[in-house]
Homo-oligomer: A and B are copies of this chain.
Amino acid sequence: MSVIVVGSMAFDDIETPFGKSNKIVGGAGTYIAYAAANFIKPVQQVSVVGYDFPAEELEEMRSRGVDTAAVEIVSNKKSFFWAGRYHLDMNTRDTLVTELNVLADFKPVIPDSYQGAEFLMLGNLAPSIQLSVIHQLKNRPKLIVLDTMNFWMDVALPELEEVISQIDVLLVNDSEARQLTAEYSLAKAAKKILSMGPKYLVIKKGEHGALLFDSNKVFFAPALPLEEVFDPTGAGDTFAGGFIGYLAQTGDISFDNMKTAVIAGSALASFCVEKFGTTRLKEITKDDISHRIQQFRELTHYQS
């Protein structure tokens, strides 16, 4: 199975109650790729970076099975840059700086070598960019997963609704599900979203776990009660990468297998938040991941 990942690769400057990262590599596409590559190779990456993006980072990604053929390097512009500061609760944050740079006119081009991919992960980006990727694929992938955020609901709702109508799995957080549907009840919000096109919906609730819905079933994945959440940046993207990576590895897109994929995504995300940026994702081994997935299993297991 092969998987195409579309998402930003960027620099972040993160401040949390525990410290300051300075300028480090981030971006939704980066987190997705590092997470997915634990399960499936190659990860066919589609992104854009500026002249300032470290060659060593691209090399590191390639060494982990990420195909960077469609990572465009713009020689006269800088990479996307975001700076943010987390509040004490680590659930809310202020954006301090957003410099779009290369992302301002990103027009992804899917190379012939990527055609035929069975899985497509559209990371959080402008819905028009996400749509353009779908339109470039000659064969519709077996599964299209879309991540988005409240910003696009505010500024590009018609385009967002268009892309949502064309995908299989939508990933949003609880407040985004509520905003998109004007329903407070997540059960009602899920029904409305599933009537917009997707067959499956994942509602991410951060420290409260995640819910997976199809038209008549629901699955609740816990979050590990962590002693320290050091840096939440990228946790949602990492979840997406673990989710699609697991599905691509197993090739099984049934609701039952999607439950385990949600656990895999949650496990990867629980590592991500332990250190700044992608640091922890680069350290973990297959054994670490298996052990963490087992912890998730024990967390909700009980006797009848």
Contact = CB atoms under 8 A, between A and B. Distances in A.
A256 B190 CA distance: 33
Contact of A220 (B190, B226, B299, B303): B299
A117 to B, nearest CB: 26
Interface in A50-107: 88-90
A49 interface: no
Contacts of A207: 186
Most buried by B among A184, A220, A223, A304: A220
Nearest to A299: B220
> How many copies altogether?
2
A223 B299 CA distance: 14
Contacts of A304: 260, 297
Interface string A249-266: 000000011011001000
A208 B208 contact: yes
Contacts of A220: 209, 222-223, 225, 299-300
Interface string A209-220: 101000000111
Contacts of A260: 302-304
A175 to B, nearest CB: 11
Nearest to A296: B220
A226 B191 CA distance: 12
Nearest to A223: B220
26 contacts: A88-B184, A185-B226, A185-B227, A186-B207, A186-B225, A187-B225, A188-B227, A190-B225, A208-B209, A209-B209, A209-B222, A211-B225, A219-B299, A220-B222, A220-B225, A220-B299, A220-B300, A221-B300, A222-B300, A256-B303, A259-B302, A260-B302, A260-B303, A260-B304, A263-B302, A297-B304
